[in-house]
Amino acid sequence: MIELNLKYIAVAFVNIENFETIPENASILMDLFGSKGYIPSTFYEINDKSKPTLRYQISTPNGEWQIRFSRRRIDIQKMTQDISGSDIGEINDFTREAKELFSVFFNKFELKANRLSLVSSGLTTKYNRDLIADIYSRLIVPIKYYKINQPKEWNLRSIARIPIELSQKGEEFNVITVISRAQVHLTTEIQTQEDVLIADYDKLLIEFDINTVPDNISDRLSSSVLPVFFDNAIEIRQSIIDDIKEVINA
């Protein structure tokens, strides 16, 4: 159903404020991740209550993979470099690599996180405008005005909270799904600069953010719970995708 995966982000909320931008830590990053082709650099983390802080990040040469080491979170991100058709692969492959990357850093410093999150977004196959109007009416019960005047833009954002067992302890997941109409406008020259074909079509943009709730702020989630977290998050994500597919094909 999802034809083009655009972005995957895995986040571990962990206190690494003391992992400062000093040469010793740059050497540690190279020792841990250099064999995978990551190159260290820096970025400014914008904080609400203090001045921007210089932090380390590492990325692959083409920028497809990036890991940011902020003061209180680590973000592992994989993003498409070409929205016209460069897919970033399956989410199972991403989480398998993310688990390894997190574990290497967690085990080096004996870290535990207080929250975990898996974010993803992707575009579906093309749909004609009539089918998009039908999908809108199936997903969202519109008021009379929007039944008559089909919205040019729309999105459906839903949040559920469900219990999950991680490391023999009860946790709760926030399951956030956003379904939006994505209009694509492709311009292609035919013979001259004035002779242009405009190809218009619609897709659905489907976004997920599945995370442990922020209520419990204790550092309790070690690298050993990462497989359980990601497996549950992927299973929930796929279940929702199947439900969306069922609505579309109804």
Query: Does residue 80 belong to any structural domain of this protein?
Result: no
The domain of 159 spans: 2-9+112-248
Query: Does residue 233 belong to any structural domain of this protein?
Result: yes
* Residue 197 pLDDT: 38
pLDDT at 192 over 50: no
Q: How far apart are CA 74 and CA 12, in angstroms?
A: 5
Q: How far apart are CA 204 and CA 2, in angstroms?
A: 9
Let me know the angle formed at the C-alpha of 182 by 176 and 185, rounded to the nearest 5 degrees. Answer: 160
Token pair belonging to 225: 């719970």
Q: What is the pLDDT of residues 228-246, one digit of tens each?
A: 999 999 999 999 999 999 9
Query: Does residue 126 belong to any structural domain of this protein?
Result: yes
Cβ proximity of 179 and 156 under 8 Å: yes
Query: Does residue 125 belong to any structural domain of this protein?
Result: yes
Backbone region of residue 85 per phi and psi (left: phi > 0; alpha: psi in -120 to 50; beta: other values): left
Query: Does residue 71 belong to any structural domain of this protein?
Result: no
Mean pLDDT of 41-52: 87
Burial class for 41, CB neighbours closer than 10 Å (0-12, 13-18, 19+): exposed
Q: What is the pLDDT of residues 125-153, one digit of tens each?
A: 988 888 898 999 999 999 999 989 989 89
Q: SS3 sequence, 102-153?
A: HHHHHHHHCCCECEEEEEEEEEECCECHHHHHHHHHHHCCCCHHHHHCCCCC
DSSP bridge partners of 208 = 120, 177
Query: Does residue 190 belong to any structural domain of this protein?
Result: yes
Q: How far apart are CA 225 and CA 230, in angstroms?
A: 9
The reported pTM is 0.91
> Strand 155-166 vs strand 39-45: parallel, antiparallel, or unpaired?
unpaired
pLDDT at 46 over 50: yes
What rounded mean pLDDT belongs to the chain? 90
* Residue 8 pLDDT: 97
Domain count, the chain: 1
* Residue 194 pLDDT: 41
- Work out the pLDDT band at 10, boundaries 50, 70, 90: very high
Could you give phi then psi for residue 57, rounded to 5 degrees?
-140, 155
pLDDT at 94 over 50: yes
Q: Classify the C-alpha dihedral 92-218-75-159 as positive or negative.
A: positive
* Ranges 69-78, 176-185, 198-207: which has the least confidence: 198-207
Position with higher pLDDT, 72 vs 166: 72
Position with higher pLDDT, 2 vs 58: 58
Token pair belonging to 175: 């399951």
Query: Does residue 92 belong to any structural domain of this protein?
Result: no
Query: Does residue 104 belong to any structural domain of this protein?
Result: no
